Structure 1
């Protein structure tokens, strides 16, 4: 017989809390536009890549600003809050197949890893663009003379390789958004627009977890 006095299942109580500050949101969407534009111009743009270079300068400025913000910004923007070691990343990865939402206030360990990878690749991409020499006498990087002719030519190959790696990471990022939305039933896009997320009250919503 069922105990009529047994405790009813505890219902999860939610609250809407701030997650992403205005700078992080502006950085994210500006980077989407600029990287897509620069990548497209690099693949199918005109012979004169002046606009490609201009977008690259903006991307470089954004990367520098984001790195600085990772040390002085709000808690969820700081590297210390989301850059985790291999153990934490592996533990979180094992839970990725679960249909339960992660309810992470900020970047989860895998998301933090992707942030570091993307920022690192963008830094390499901007750096190689600045010193590259495609031997077309037109689109030479402004600092190509600093590294010598041979390295300037090699920088073009690195630049193209990193562009493909960034494309792969971008596709993985988009796939992850769909995975969370339809498998884990967790919306990651809206908080990056509004800055706020609906999270459970208590431990799961603690930004230190």
Structure 2
């Protein structure tokens, strides 16, 4: 085999090597949030309020960890690397009708809006739930002791209202995933499971995800766990 043939084989092998796009913390937090929201929905409609409260604590932990990881995590997890301004969003939106477009390594400009909005809505719904007062007062949020019964009932209605808004936003997110899969032939679910995607012709070495050390995640998990515990006992130490 000549050196030229070996070079061609090496190039071909490099072109078919999948690129890392999502680290384990991002993928784990994503699917844990899916499970948590599903449990919250089921326990809410079936009036299993004790379990609804515990699933709310779990979601609070997940969202706070995702926000933390969005500051100190891997390159594709950090908000600073995927949240874009209006021009970038409009430029990307103008290409949606094209079937063949460059693959965004991580969240694209429109997907970033979806992620930020969903995280914001989930956090808002959970915070409202912490202050919400149940009709019989048996399973009220841990922070409801800081407000009146009337205020707590009003917040409970807001908690329900904004959860319904969240469901519509999630439905829109799922519709976008289906659109990318059917029309643009891009599988967005697979990379969120195994963490990799096939390379594009225009990909460069800098496209590869830069990971973050595990100790950062561990430190964040300890701090966030302490915060959620303090909230669960209404800061009564």
Identify the TM-score tier after normalising by the shorter chain: 0.7 to 0.9
TM-score calculated relative to the size of structure 1: 0.87
Which segments of 5 or more consecutive residues in structure 2 lack a partner in the other structure? Answer: 1-14, 209-237
State whether residues 14 and 201 of structure 1, in contact with CA within 8 Å, keep that contact through their aligned partners in structure 2: no
TM-score calculated relative to the size of structure 2: 0.77
State whether residues 95 and 101 of structure 2, in contact with CA within 8 Å, keep that contact through their aligned partners in structure 1: no
Write out the 4+ residue segments of structure 1 that deviate beyond 6 Å after TM superposition.
none
Q: Mean alpha-carbon deviation: is it higher for 193-202 or for 181-190?
A: 193-202
Partner of 1:41: 43
> What is the number of residues matched between the two proteins?
195
- 1:185-204 correspondence runs (5 A): 185-203=185-203
Per-residue CA distance 1:126-182 (angstroms, 9 max, x = gap): 101110013222221111121333321211111111111111111111111110011
State whether residues 125 and 162 of structure 2, in contact with CA within 8 Å, keep that contact through their aligned partners in structure 1: yes
Per-residue CA distance 1:59-103 (angstroms, 9 max, x = gap): 000011111100100100000011111221121112112111441
State whether residues 18 and 195 of structure 1, in contact with CA within 8 Å, keep that contact through their aligned partners in structure 2: yes
Which segments of 5 or more consecutive residues in structure 1 lack a partner in the other structure? Answer: 1-12
Q: Using the alignment, how far apart are the partners of 2:120 and 2:146 within structure 1?
A: 22
Q: Mean alpha-carbon deviation: is it higher for 132-141 or for 32-41?
A: 132-141
Partner of 1:8: none
What is the alpha-carbon root mean square deviation over aligned residues?
1.9
State whether residues 101 and 180 of structure 1, in contact with CA within 8 Å, keep that contact through their aligned partners in structure 2: no
